[in-house]
Amino acid sequence: MVSVVAFDRKKAERERIRESCWEQISKYPDEDMNFVGVGDSAGLREKAGDGKDMSLLYYEFARGQDVAGIREIRRGHGETMIMLMTEALVSPTEYLKPGVAPDSILIKPYTNEELRRTNEEFIRSYMEKNSEDNGKSFLIETKGERILLPYSHIHYFEAREKKTFVRAGMTEYSLFKTLGMLEEELPAQFRRCHRSYIVNTSKLRRVNLSENYLDLGDGIEVPVSKTYKQEFRKLLET
């Protein structure tokens, strides 16, 4: 399932994007599309914060627009590929900034052929990347959905409330596996740090020995028990 979100203030433009996306995605027999169109920033924030996967984002960027919104999406949905739609008069210095840089750019106004060509390349790139990541991703099966979450995006796995959850940025998914099962199948970069947590050591930024927690960056912290503290301190020093 390819989850597509189109943020454009004009309904007609959102419909053009929907039709173009389906034209391209339907070329892949094993794929389907879930499309959501939003016409304002509030709607986009709500969609980005609903905890669901977002494969492709089409983002209208106006002259003088603050980049905070798209930067926040990048933080919470690091796996999302973004096509920026903007006018030629908008200087690239307005959007080519750290934490913002898009995967593709479409200059407005655009013809149907320009949209087709740009979107064909954009979606092909997504499909190729998704295929390459299959062996480097964690498969999540929930409510009839199959989601491939790249290991590089995962911060930790947590057992709580008799369930297991995986955290990637600001997004969280529930699983039907125990931490013990996960320890057997995850790559070596994932290590137990607490009876309730397995962390991605590639995300490790700091070990706080006095307060017993690990800093995984992006404002994410998890507890570390005495059993594992020294192991993680040595890991950070190597």
| pLDDT score, position 145 | 67
Q: What confidence tens digit (pLDDT) does each residue in 85-119 have? A: 999 999 999 999 888 889 999 999 999 999 999 99
pLDDT value at 134 more than 60 = no
Q: Is pLDDT of 141 > 90? A: no
With 80 as the cut, is the pLDDT of residue 236 above it?
no
> 147: pLDDT confidence band, cut at 50, 70 and 90?
confident
Query: What local confidence, expressed as pLDDT, does residue 144 receive?
Result: 64
User: What's at 4, amino acid-wise?
Assistant: V
Do residues 201 and 191 lie in contact, with contact meaning Cβ atoms separated by under 8 Å? yes
| Phi, psi (degrees; rounded to nearest 5) at 136 | -120, 25
Domains and CATH numbers, the chain: 2-135 (3.40.50.2300), 154-237 (2.40.50.1020)
**Looking at the predicted structure, is the pLDDT value of residue 133 above 80?**
no
Confidence of residue 218 (pLDDT cuts 50, 70, 90): confident
Residue by residue, DSSP assigns 23-58 as HHHTTSTT--EEEEEE-SHHHHHHHHTSS----EEE
- The whole-angstrom separation of Cα 23 and Cα 217 is 39
Distance from C-alpha of 5 to C-alpha of 3, rounded to nearest angstrom: 7
In angstroms, rounded to a whole number, what is the distance separating the alpha carbons of residues 148 and 82? 18
Tell me the sheet residues that pair with 34.
3
> pTM for this one?
0.59
pLDDT greater at residue 116 or residue 135? 116
Buried/exposed 144-182: b ≥16 CB within 10 Å, e otherwise: eeebbbbbebbbbbbbeeeebebbbbbbebebeeebeeb
